[in-house]
Amino acid sequence: MNGATNETNGVHKKILPRLQIIDEKQEFSKDLPSFMKDEWQIADAGFNYNLVAVFGSQSTGKSTLLNRLFGTNFDVMNENSRRQTTKGIWMSRGKDMNVLIMDVEGTDGRERGEDQDFERKSALFSMATSNVIIVNLWEHQVGLYQGANMGLLKTVFEVNLQLFQAARGKEKTLLLFVIRDHVGTTPLENLSNTLTEDLKKIWDSVSKPEGLESCTITDYFDFMFAALPHKLLLPAKFEEDVIKLRERFANPNHKEFVFKPNYSKRVPADGFHVYAEGIWDQIMSNKDLDLPTQQELLAQYRCDEIATVAFDAFLGKIKGFRQPIEAGKIIEDLGPQMEEIRNATIKQFDKEASRYLSEVYKRKRQEILNKTNSQLHVFFLGQLKNLTKKAINTFNARIQEKLKGEGYDFAEVVSNARKDIETFFKNNAEEEFNQLSDSINEIAAKSRTEETKKMIKNLEKTVQTQINEFVSLYFKTPTTDMWGKIIGKFQEVLQKAEQQLLKKAKSFNSSEEENTKSLENLRKRSWQQLRKKIDDELADNMFLLKLRERFEEKFRYDEEGLPKVWKPDDDIDAHFRKAREDALKLIPLFAKVQIPDGIDLDIPSDDDFIFEESLVILSETKQHDLNVRFKRESDAFYLEAKRSVVQTTAR
Ligand code: GDP
Ligand code: MG
């Protein structure tokens, strides 16, 4: 089809090729990007393009009309073989206009008794992409409120509500009704009135989403009407009227120009293929489709793509700096050069990306700016280093030179040389410095916060590991001096962490105030980690286990750790009581963190954290509850012991 010719006015003109963007298997074409770019040459149009789709019953002359209006070559059904055209959506570009046209085949499933699945899908797709929808119908279909077209329109309305809920009244779609085989006895105005009435009725019958019960059809749609005479009976008049109709699409000064700005779906041409495919994917996976989300996804995807291209170009341009700087050379005008390269990069990014959703665009712009800055930062530092080296060498040489002569005033020699060299340095560095110091500060501040965060996180991790270790250790064999040991260990770990923090902070040049804040945070976080570990260790069942262990140790095993065999004259009751008492002592021991006298951990309290309160581990009720539960559990051991004696005696 590429290169096909069409004889119009005796001149051979190249017809733009069409593309089946959705095929009969409902798959999305992989060729759309190359068609947008090469075949249709519309990918660079930005927002300066429009999209038209057509709906209507089979064989109502839709494709014929599109071909006449836009100079396309969509399939027209042959008079002789009235076979159905395959389902799918075809797209082409209008000749001499920035308009994409979609010919939707098989939109009226109900007329052909098929399921309406594809009808709904293609309606969704068309509504989400098109600015103008042509609804094509025979004159005798007008007023047939129950007709096939009306079912289709109901679908269109429903789908539209789903898509544009959030954009009510701001973005609209134009429905252009084209009435075919208009005989002329009923004026167009009457036909339009009948249609308008019917549309309102259909709209009323559509169920509205919550909160939109009272929305009107004109919140979402504008309407226009046109009529065309019978193509075969009045061929000349037909052609004439088609040319008039074409004006509404082609001439922005026409009073009925169809492409109003608020019909635009705000998809830049270079992102159309991404957007369209994304929409189709959502439709196919039956996911809820809303345009704001699609717009956001599109913006992210395209801004990333655009940024990658711009950044690659940037890397290519700065490549040349590396070698000389690493070799210790001073690059003249490095500052201005870098500035220019960076500006060009951002400009390149802005050119395409700025058309996308503004918050996404701004975020991605900051990202690429940071990326370029940190690359340039390296060269900037290198240049300064080289400059310093050169300045010192020159200074040294200058002095040595002077000192070889005679009758010099040493102090004067030094101060003159210093003045010269400092001027040299300043002159050279100033430009670089001024150009870049702002961005340097910005990067430095940002990296510093990030580095500090990273460092603190690492510190906290180390603290946590140590805490976990010693708490587990001391809890394994609980003793009365356990808390003293734990608190002592905690202080030790914390102190080490604090020292490390201060050491690092110094290398970051953090302020006194920042340091105090970081230290406070560290102390508080570490304490919370300790508390969490304690809670983990003392979860209900874990604690009961501890009690049981302590109890069994005393009751079921002898001093050498061997299982006790009860003899008839053993005082089981006394043993039992002693062991149980011992075990129960653990409850008050663990009920509260006991800070040894004279120790102040200096953990800061704040609105949602009070240190004193955090000391309590087991509430009164909890303690009581554990008491009861454990007593019940230990009774079983008592009975078991008693029984074993009876058995031994009986043998
Ligand atoms: P589509 O299925 O709606 O795309 O219809 P086509 O454009 O393929 O046309 C179907 C048949 O209707 C073809 O044989 C056309 O020649 C014929 N046709 C096209 N336009 C008109 C028209 O305005 N009036 C009539 N009566 N027939 C038309
Ligand atoms: Mg067709």
pLDDT per residue as tens digits for the range 18-65: 999 999 889 999 999 999 999 999 999 999 999 999 988 888 899 999
The predicted structure's pLDDT at residue 15: 76
- Which residue lies with its CA nearest to atom 14 of ligand 1? 79
pLDDT band at 239 (very low <50, low <70, confident <90, very high): very high
Name the residue with the closest Cα to ligand 1, atom 22.
231
Please indicate, yes or no, whether residues 178 and 243 belong to a single structural domain of this protein. yes
369 and 270 belong to one structural domain: no
Does the pTM surpass 0.80? The reply is no
Instruction: Report which bound ligand comes closest to the CA of 235.
Output: 1
Residues within 5 A (CB) of ion ligand 2: 62-63
Model confidence pLDDT, tens digit, residues 86-103: 678 999 999 999 999 999
**Best of 18, 57, 59, 107 to mutate for ligand 1, by most ligand atoms within 8 A of CB?**
59
pLDDT of residue 525: 92
Structural domain span for residue 368: 295-408
Is the ipTM reported for this complex over the cut 0.95? yes
**Residue 227 resides in a domain:** yes
Q: Which of 471, 501, 536 is the last residue of a domain?
A: 536
Domain boundary among 389, 408, 427: 408
Which residue from 36, 61, 56 is spatially nearest to 149, judged by alpha carbons? 56
Distances (CA, A) of 110 to 62, 115, 151, 531: 17, 7, 8, 68
160 and 37 part of one domain: yes
Q: What mean pLDDT is predicted for residues 608-633?
A: 92
Backbone angles phi, psi at 6, to 5 degrees: -135, 130
Write out pLDDT tens, residues 299-328.
Answer: 999 999 999 999 999 999 999 999 999 999
CB 592 within 8 A of CB 617: yes
| C-alpha of residue 77 to centroid of ligand 2, in Å | 7
Q: 144: Cβ–Cβ under 8 A, 6 or more apart, which residues?
A: 150
Same domain, 461 and 373: no
Distance of CA 73 to CAs 76, 272, 628, Å?
Answer: 8, 22, 88
At 507, is the secondary structure helix, strand, or coil? helix
Distance from residue 232's CA to the centre of ligand 2 (Å)? 17
How does residue 422 score in pLDDT terms, banded at 50, 70 and 90?
confident
Tell me the mean pLDDT in the region 75-91.
73
Higher pLDDT, 47 or 292: 47
Query: Taking Cα atoms as reference points, which of 149, 89, 83 lies closest to residue 118?
Result: 89
Asked if residue 526 and residue 545 are part of one domain, the reply reads: no
How far, in Å, CA of 125 to CA of 133, rounded?
A: 12
**Residue identifier of the C-alpha nearest atom 1 of ligand 1:** 59
Q: What are phi and psi of 332, to 5 degrees?
A: -70, 145
Q: Per the domain annotation, does 316 fall within a domain? A: yes
C-alpha angle 245-246-252 in degrees, rounded to nearest 5: 105
Is residue 425 a part of any domain in this protein?
no
Task: Give the CATH number, domain containing residue 43.
Answer: 3.40.50.300
Lowest mean pLDDT among 422-436, 511-525, 570-584: 422-436
Q: How far apart, in whole angstroms, are the C-alpha atoms of residue 77 and residue 81?
A: 8
Going by CA atoms, what residue is nearest to atom 18 of ligand 1?
61
Short-list 164, 150, 161, 152, CA closest to 200: 150
Distance, C-alpha 529 to centroid of its chain: 32
Whether residue 70 lies inside any domain: the answer is yes
In a domain, 382, yes or no: yes
**Ligand 1: distance of its center to the CA of 536 in Å?**
78
| Pure H helices in 11-108 | 32-34, 62-70
Residues 58 and 154 in one domain: yes
Q: Do residues 198 and 57 share a domain?
A: yes
Q: From CA 471, how far away is CA 467, in angstroms rounded? A: 6
Q: Domain for residue 17, yes or no?
A: no
- Least Cα distance to 241 among 229, 255, 250 occurs for 229
* Side chain identity at residue 547, one-letter code: L
Query: CB-based burial of residue 402 (10 Å sphere; 0-12 exposed, 13-18 middle, 19+ buried)?
Result: middle
Q: Which of 78-82, 106-110, 115-119, 182-186 is predicted least confidently?
A: 106-110
Among candidate residues 545, 535, 505, the one with its CA nearest the CA of residue 522: 505
Q: Count of domains in the chain? A: 4
Alpha carbon of 85 to ligand 2 centroid (Å):
7
Q: Which ligand is nearest to the CA of 76?
A: 1
Ligand 1: which residues within 6 Å by Cβ?
A: 58-64, 76-77, 79, 180-181, 230-232
Distance 284 CA to ligand 1 centre (A): 30
The residue whose C-alpha atom lies closest to atom 9 belonging to ligand 1 is 61
The percentage of residues in the chain with a pLDDT greater than 90, rounded to a whole number, is: 50
Q: Are 614 and 590 members of one domain?
A: yes
Q: Same domain for 55 and 179?
A: yes
For atom 20 of ligand 1, the residue with the nearest CA is 61
Residue 83 has pLDDT above 70, yes or no: no
Rounded to the nearest angstrom, the distance between the alpha carbon of 312 and the centre of ligand 1 is 52
Q: List the one residue out of 312, 435, 322 whose CA is nearest residue 368.
A: 312
| Ligand 2 centre distance from Cα of residue 23 (Å) | 14
- Rounded-to-integer distance, Cα 578 and Cα 566, Å: 16
Residue 176: DSSP 8-state: E
Question: How many angstroms separate the CA atoms of 588 and 619, rounded?
Answer: 10
Do 484 and 543 fall into the same domain?
Answer: no
321-358 per-residue burial string, b: 16 or more CB within 10 A, e: under 16: beebbeeeebbeebbebbbebbeebbebbeebbebbbe
Residue closest via CA to ligand 1's atom 12 equals 61
Cβ neighbours, 10 Å, residue 263: 19
User: Does residue 517 form part of some domain?
Assistant: yes
Whether residue 511 sits in one domain with residue 396: no
Instruction: From 255, 285, 315, give the residue that closes a domain.
Output: 285
616 DSSP 8-state letter: B
**Measuring CA to CA, how many Å separate 523 from each of 125, 448, 517, 560, 603?**
57, 21, 10, 44, 6
Question: Do 402 and 490 belong to one domain?
Answer: no
Least confident stretch, 305-314, 446-455, 537-546: 446-455
Residues facing residue 132 across a β-bridge: 52, 174
Tokens encoding 59: 């064989």
DSSP, collapsed to helix, strand or coil, labels residue 482 as: helix
| Residue 605 located in a structural domain | yes
